[in-house]
Structure 1
Amino acid sequence: MAILPSQPGIKISIVCNGAILQEYEDDDEEPNHAVVSKYIEAVSGAEFGIRWDVSSPWPPYTILFKYYLDQKKASDRYCRLENFKHPSYIYTEEGATSMVNGQGYLHRFAFAALTVDDAGAPVPEQLMKDIKGMGEITVKAFFVAVQQTSSVVDRALDNNIREVGKIPEKALKGRSLSHQTSLRAPQAIAKFSTATCDYIDPARKSFATYTFKYRSRDALKSLLIIPRSPSPVPLEDRDVDTLSAAEMRELLRRQREREADARAIKQERGIKRELNCEQSSTYTDDTDDDEISIVSTKRRRENYLITVNENGVEEIDLT
């Protein structure tokens, strides 16, 4: 859970399939009493929710949480002061909401893989704006006082979140983006109400901001956020007692191939050695037109007639 030292009673996390996603430290983020940033792993097609867990020490006011996907406002939710009396006050925002003719709808949050195109097509201005804010889920917290609650008849989606389609590779400018956020098709829910509020801070500044940078596992490895997978140990270097039946068969197959290759090489060398012993060569003397042929240079010395002349020098008869 992302926690600010200045707000120890507020914990924000991203959940997927009912489980809180593991968070990784963002070493590029400068320490800040009002801002915290974490990395999380995104899985293509997975739905996610934004959960807050508020407990003692209880905040002094009602909190308005605003949720942003890729820097676009997706939804908001009141964490009311009157509920600050249980061990903890937990809520999970599963998507954006809308209302049509008194019927409520939920548009669930989800991750979608980016499709990168290496074509050199021009990059539209709007696409560049979308990419600039991509890769982040942000929660901003404001202290407010709720004034009036009213029923809702019609309420459009308070966002322009949409999948951007193919992205030219040059538009990423080296960023390690792998996913984008999207909204599922609307799902009917119960009718809901809304409320107005006054901000405790006249400047309407958030007192806490929680950012989750989502990336694929491969992207997190490339950023050295999580360790790279170790290289597998070769079968030949592993203890045979740890090998499965399939691995044993593969190891035996490799050994047989190496033995066959070794036999073929040995046989080839033997053939070349025999050819070298039997081959003939021709030497041409450039000083005249006579050609001297040496039929064989491998005849053993002891087969020649050897004599010693009057000066004690050995003479060999090559005839």
Structure 2
Amino acid sequence: MAILPDCPGLEVKIVVDGEPLKEYEDDGTPAPKSVTKYIEAVSDAKFEINYAFNKDYPHAYDVRVVVKLDGQQVDDSLDPYSTLFRDGGHTVSGATSCLDGKWFMADFRFSQLTIDPPTTFIQPLRRTYFFADTDSGRHIDKRLSKKLSTAGEISIAFQHIKNIRASRSSGKDIRIRNTSQIGNVPEKAVQVSGLSHYARYVLT
């Protein structure tokens, strides 16, 4: 589980079938007040995000929790201090939306990237044949590059809040923005990062 050194008493884990996924350390230097872990994603597996506060948590504030998948915000909740230490912690199981007064839940799932390998062809050269690799032919445009920059990231941000006030609902529909399919990705676009999966959510 991910434990933030600057915030003792707070633990976060990614759960599949009731079991936390194995985590690996990040060799890079983390940003201030943050921690990064790597996990092994299971293709098409439904996953949940669990965070828990224990007795070592030193602050007496309400907490805002913002969850992003692949750079897209999918959950934004406020947890009053009186509920922080509940048994089993807090679980985010999916993205919610409200359409015509009805609430819907979209499960979180892992999706495997479809990676286009370089095209191999045979070209004659002075009666000698050699193999050459070319790019898959798909241009890595700015839109694809932007998607890949946050693909595979599960981000959970915590913020201390004072004086939570109830507000009247606007009555407007609340729609989740579906994570668009990334589609086929040129192999060269993920060679360095080793990216293999991204996250999506599926309406139940």
TM-score (norm 2): 0.81
The alignment status of 1:174 with 2:192, answered yes or no, reads: yes
SS in 1 for 2:9: strand
Provide the C-alpha distance between the structure 2 equivalents of 1:20 and 1:173, rounded to a whole number of angstroms.
27
Contact 1:55 1:88 in 2 (8 A): no
1:77-96 equivalence runs, <5 A: 77-84=77-84, 86=85, 88=87, 90-96=89-95
Query: 1:141 maps to which residue?
Result: 158
Normalized per residue, the structure richer in strand is 2
Greater relative contact order (Cα 8 A, min sep 6): structure 1 or 2? Answer: 2
Q: d(CA) in 1 for partners of 2:56 and 2:47?
A: 28
- Give deviations 1:121-172, integer Å, cap 9, x for gaps: 2223211110111121111111113211445552111x45222111122333
Provide the secondary structure at the position in 1 that maps to 2:148.
Answer: helix
- 1:282-301 equivalence runs, <5 A: none
Query: Are residues 1:125 and 2:142 paired?
Result: yes
More helix by share: 1
Q: Distance in 2 between matches of 1:35 and 1:6?
A: 8
The equivalent residue for 1:223 is none
Match for residue 181 of structure 2?
Answer: 163
CA RMSD of aligned residues (A): 2.0
SS at match of 2:147: helix
Distance 1:60 1:89 in 2: 20
User: How high is the sequence identity, in percent, across the aligned residues?
Assistant: 32
Work out the CA distance in 2 between the residues paired with 1:8 and 1:38: 17
For 2:32 and 2:144, how far apart are their aligned partners in 1? 33
User: Which ranges in structure 2 are unaligned for 5 or more consecutive residues?
Assistant: 118-135
* CA deviation map 1:89-127 (0-9, x unaligned): 611101111001111000111100100113222223211
- In structure 1, the residue matched to 2:43 is 44
Partner of 1:18: 18
Structure 2 CA distance for partners of 1:150 and 1:91, relative to 1, 3 Å: farther
8 Å contact 2:64–2:158 — kept in the other structure? yes
Question: Structure 1: how far apart are the matches of 2:185 and 2:63?
Answer: 37
Q: 1:24 to 1:124 in 2, by over 3 A?
A: same
- Is the Cα–Cα contact under 8 Å of residues 163 and 180 in structure 1 kept in the other structure? no
Cα displacement (A) at 1:23:
1.3
Residues 24 and 38 in structure 1, CA contact (< 8 A), matched pair in contact too: yes
Q: Is the 8 A contact 2:178 2:201 kept in 1?
A: no
* 2:74 match: 74
Q: 1:82 to 1:121 in 2, by over 3 A?
A: same
Structure 1 contact 56–88 (Cα < 8 Å) conserved: no
Unaligned runs of 5+ in 1: 188-319
Matching of residues 155-234 of structure 1 within 5 Å? 155-157=174-176, 159-184=177-202, 186-187=203-204
Q: Which residue in 2 is equivalent to 1:276? A: none
Query: Which residue identity lines up with residue 41 of structure 2 in the other structure?
Result: A
